[in-house]
Amino acid sequence: MSDKTNDVYRAVWRWHFYAGLIAIPFLITLAVTGALYLFKDEIDHWLHADLMRVEAQEGIRVSPQAQRDAALAVVDGMAFRYVSPPSAELAAEVDVRRPDGTRVAVFVDPYSGQVTGDMPYRGSVMWTIRMLHSLNYFGANASMIIEIVGGWSILLVVTGLYLWWPRGRRGGVMSVRGGPRKRVFWRDLHAVTGVFVGGVILFLAVTGMPWSTVWGSKVNELANGHNFGYPDGVRVNVPMSEARLAEHTETTWSLEQARLPTSADSSAPSIGLDRAVATFDALGLAPGYAVGLPSEPDGVYTGSIYPDDLSRQRVVHLDQYSGEPLLDMGYADYGPLGRGLEWGINVHLGQQYGLANQLILALACAGIVLLCVSSGVMWWKRRPSGRLGVPPAPSDPRRLRGVLALLAIGGVIFPLVGASMIGMAMVDGLVRRRGEKRALA
């Protein structure tokens, strides 16, 4: 290896080390929680079977309005959402806002109209896992860390691919040498595992970015209200309120900023939940859709469903007085950006391709954990006693600056990542100066 090549290798290795230092602790958490969330429905329906599961029966079901009334007889407050049973053996859900502002999910047997129980709104085990995965469990601003980790994970994969590149070698490229007692075993295990899961890490990092605070919010703004993303009015030009869809019902990330239309002023009474549900059924919304209930005189009934099959994803707003659709938006109505974002999100969640999608991502998550553990063992075996063990700096500092300049491109695309890179570059400068002083002493 020439001096120039060796210097570039050292520069890349050094930044690969820094990327791992920042990303690996979070990657383990993201992999474990992400793997669990892939099976969210299966796990929730098992853990909360006493609330969510009912005995399937043939015959007429209790009306949605009666189910709502049964829920309100148990929990005092105002219903703001009704979720139709996704399948014959599952309960309906009525979400209620109590007078003190707290929200409760009440589950109702659609055949008997009996309440099977309740829990805090979004209080299921898998919703907690989701909050941990996104770090929103620790506050809204904690999701900024996701953006930083996502950017450094991309850097980790790109630099790792450069370090893995064979350059005439055979050992440690697609095979593992030695045994667990030797460092080369862990180096090869890390490299080979990285080759197989690196592409998945890139995919998950890029498709996870839309949930981030800074970059994600900007993409959200760009995607909503434009023909290449999610138009305000897809089939009709309707008056739009300032209310957001996410404030009234659960929605996919990419429609969180979508605005709700307004119902026309009318002296007529509201159509009611039963007629709204009958209209949504007639329009062909997939089973398990949620109905956002109007809370204001100009509010609307919103039916929304985000199933595994993207072609059946749909949002319909009904005028609460006439029952006429004000907006009917499906996957086919989105622009190229909208369809691309939705596909990436659905695959990221393990939904788009059924069980195969879940199993492949679950195996990838296990590979990510193995990748992180092997890197830790490899570092522990390599590091000098009592020192951090930062890889050696290149003899020509220009090589390090050149690699950093290339990495800065990603920093411009992802601002929070760029800011963290500047901070790490300053730390690296201090580490190098300290090393130089130690060498001269």
Question: Residue 25 is which amino acid?
Answer: P
The 10s digit of each residue's pLDDT in 60-98 is: 899 999 999 999 999 999 999 999 999 999 999 999 999
Domains by residue range for the chain, with CATH: 3-38+136-212+358-440 (no CATH), 49-123 (3.10.450), 231-333 (no CATH)
Cα–Cα distance measured from residue 141 to residue 231, given in angstroms and rounded to the nearest whole number: 28
Cα–Cα distance measured from residue 135 to residue 130, given in angstroms and rounded to the nearest whole number: 8
The 10s digit of each residue's pLDDT in 101-139 is: 999 999 999 999 999 999 999 999 999 999 999 888 888
What is the structure's pLDDT at 235? 41
Residue with tokens 């290798």: 9
Cα–Cα distance measured from residue 241 to residue 263, given in angstroms and rounded to the nearest whole number: 10
The angle subtended at Cα 131 by Cα 217 and Cα 415, nearest 5°, is 30
The 10s digit of each residue's pLDDT in 336-362 is: 888 888 899 999 999 999 999 999 999
Q: pLDDT category, 234, cuts 50, 70, 90?
A: very low
Cα–Cα distance measured from residue 282 to residue 135, given in angstroms and rounded to the nearest whole number: 39
The 10s digit of each residue's pLDDT in 380-400 is: 988 877 777 888 888 877 777
Cα–Cα distance measured from residue 281 to residue 293, given in angstroms and rounded to the nearest whole number: 16
What is the structure's pLDDT at 417? 86
Q: What's the mean per-residue pLDDT of the chain? A: 88
What is the structure's pLDDT at 3? 64
Compare 28 and 240 and report the one with higher pLDDT: 28
Lowest mean pLDDT among 43-47, 266-270, 293-297, 363-367: 266-270
What is the structure's pLDDT at 53? 97
